[in-house]
Amino acid sequence: EGFYNGYADTLHFTSMFMIGMLLFKYQKEITCFYRSMKNLNRKLLIALGVFLYLYSTGILLISRSDTAFLLKD
């Protein structure tokens, strides 16, 4: 498929690993912040997460086949 190589995947996986480390490091602070949120804000945060996930998968579905390799994991 064209000039596809593993460098984009390496960058993607490295960034996800770093985000995971930060989530683990600040787990208590994030938990306290989430628990202190109002119920409406919690629901909005969850809805935003679901929307962003569905939006990212929707981009894959409508993308052209010659550039799809840049977007898929």
pLDDT in tens, 26-52: 999 999 999 999 999 999 999 999 998
Cβ contact 67:59 at 8 Å = no
| Residue 2 included in any domain | no
User: Residue 37 has which token pair?
Assistant: 């949120």
Domain carrying residue 45: 7-71
Cβ contact 60:52 at 8 Å = no
Q: Which residue, among 3, 8, 18, has the nearest Cα to 71 in the 3D structure?
A: 8
For residues 8-24, average pLDDT: 90
| Residue 51 included in any domain | yes
| Residue 1 included in any domain | no
**The pTM of the whole model exceeds 0.75:** no
**Rg of the chain over all Cα atoms, to the nearest angstrom:** 17
Helix/strand/coil for 9:
helix
* Number of structural domains in the chain: 1
